[in-house]
Amino acid sequence: MIKLFSLKQQKEEEGAPRHNHHKRASAAHLRITKDLNELNLPKTCNIEFPDPDDLLNFKLIICPDEGFYRGGRFVFSFKVGPNYPHEPPKVKCETAVYHPNIDLEGNVCLNILREDWKPVLTVNSVVYGLQYLFLEPNPEDPLNKEAAEELQNARRVFEQHVQKAMRGGYVGSNYFERCLK
């Protein structure tokens, strides 16, 4: 019987170069690769990889072409953890936005990113969920209560505040960078 372990140890001691070309991809990496290959982005969305070798961290850019946020450019960072798809990706909005479902720290209130996540959901599901938040903000489940109350009770004022924030300026005591394309 050949003792593989002792052969390997002997080669290491002799200084033979070790080749690690066959690094096993994690389950999360395999699944995200599949998700990205099957991605069907709407024309208002684009994905960028700051590091092309790192598929687990990427940016989604949404540029709504209708609704309150039409003409804006909103960047979301995705961090896919080692337990994906059993845990949802961590998604943050990097663009300050006056929105009932996105707070000023960039946290996003989207049910499929929390309690309704299931391993059958994909990055595509999240992309469409985020896009839908811009088309139909949900004041019933807010992270930004002020924006939600305005949307429910003073729709015109809410729309003016969204426009002011997207042009760049203050809404109340909060400053928003310009995000119009």
Please write the tens of the pLDDT for every residue from 32-73. Answer: 999 999 999 999 999 999 999 999 999 999 999 999 999 999
Residue 140 or residue 22, greater confidence:
140
The verdict on residue 12 lying in a domain is no
Question: Does residue 13 fall inside a structural domain?
Answer: no
Query: What total of structural domains would you count in the chain?
Result: 1
Q: Looking at the domain assignment, is residue 5 inside a domain? A: no
Question: What CATH number should be reported for the domain holding residue 124?
Answer: 3.10.110.10
93 labelled catalytic: no
The helix (run of H) or strand (run of E) holding residue 21 is: none
**Which whole-number Å values give the CA distances from 147 to 6, 137, 160, in the listed order?**
67, 10, 11
Distance CA 59, CA 49 (A): 6
Asked if residue 154 belongs to a domain, the reply is yes
- Judge whether 1 lies within some domain: no
- For residue 105, what are the domain limits? 25-176
Checking if the pLDDT of 18 tops 60, the result is: no
Confirm whether 9 is domain-assigned.
Answer: no
Confidence at residue 181, expressed as pLDDT on a 0 to 100 scale: 85
Q: Which of 45, 63, 93, 109 is catalytic?
A: 109
Question: Is the separation of the CB atoms in 162 and 156 below 8 Å?
Answer: no
- For 100-131, write each residue's pLDDT tens digit: 999 999 999 999 999 999 999 999 999 999 99
Q: What is the pLDDT of residues 124-168, one digit of tens each?
A: 999 999 999 999 999 998 999 999 999 999 999 999 999 999 999
pLDDT at 9: 52
Q: Is residue 15 part of a domain?
A: no
Average pLDDT over residues 79-104: 97
- CA 29, chain centre distance (Å): 16
Q: Give pTM, 2 decimals.
A: 0.85
- Return the bridge partners of 62, or none: 45, 74
| Cα-based distances in Å from 51 to 21, 48, 54, 58, 136 | 20, 9, 5, 8, 32
Q: Say if 46 falls within a structural domain.
A: yes
